Amino acid sequence: MGEIAALLTSVCWAFCGIFFTSAGKKIGAFSVNLIRLTFAVILFFITHLLIYKTFIPIHATQSQWLWLALSGIIGLVIGDSFLYQAFVYLDVRIPMLVMASVPMISTLFAWIFLNENLHLIALFGILITIIGIILVINDRRVPAKNKTPIDRKRYALGILFAFGGALGQAGGLIFAKFGLQNDLPVLSATLMRMLPSLAAILILALFQGKIKHTISIVKNNPKSLANIFYGSIIGPFVGVWLSLIAVQSAYVGTASTLMALAPVVLLPISKWFYKENISRASVIGTFLTIIGVAIIFAG
């Protein structure tokens, strides 16, 4: 059950990226993140009420709220904003592959900030992961069918934004480590990350005058709103639940590795549905990245 749930989680991450990429190219990364967090908070409010009989975790400590709020702002606001901007510049497959480096970055952060021991096997896995990502991001020889040649500046910016997203998510995990204390339920912790994140992005949108702009642009792009809604259900909601089942029912290393297979899931989707020409270097690089992630957890 755990392994099946982990595989289904990776499928959720893949399709979630497709929905958010489609919406981001139409209405922009900021609007996608604002609407996505709104949908996700509503869904988790309802779920938390059904399971724990309260809208929010009323028994959580101030310390837990602080750490999880910081975790959410770094990971869900800053990190995901970078990731969705990468979706605007690039096809979904490459940013999702770069996000496969999150376990590698998290391992390094935990070594530096949490004094968690880093085994030589994990170092070898990090090296393999880096080689795999470099193979893919350097392979720009074959543009997608019926598309204009790749703009090098946009490509470079997309890669930088994708790595910014990976750094944000990895940093968010480190702060979450401090907040997940005293057996705090993961569902409650997820809601405690999302609420401050939504508040932060709403305040930012208010000061930048983007709330009216977001409402206006969504009215003119109802299909984008539908894509964000579907992506919010598949990713932050269903994906999170499946990931919890996976971690509960399987070894964490096995579950985490299987959940990192989204780039592999996206290979045939990019080929058959988006008519993207996938080179041999991209295929090898993708599988090297996944192998590197597996080695990290083995270590």
pLDDT tens-digit map of 43-77: 999 999 999 999 999 889 999 999 999 989 998 89
> Directed axis angle between helix 120-137 and helix 102-113, to 10°?
140
Query: Which tokens go with 277?
Result: 């020409």
The Cβ of residue 108 has, within 10 Å, a number of other Cβ atoms equal to 17
Find the DSSP H helices in 53-185: 62-72, 80-89, 93-99, 102-113, 120-137, 152-179
The Cβ of residue 144 has, within 10 Å, a number of other Cβ atoms equal to 15
pLDDT on residue 142? 47
H/E stretch holding 144 reads none
pLDDT on residue 82? 93
Q: Are 36 and 144 in contact (CB under 8 A)?
A: no
Please give the model's pTM, rounded to 2 decimal places: 0.79
H/E stretch holding 142 reads none
Of the chain, the percentage scoring pLDDT greater than 90 comes to: 27
For the cut 70, the answer to whether the pLDDT of residue 223 exceeds it is: yes
Mean pLDDT score across all residues of the chain: 83
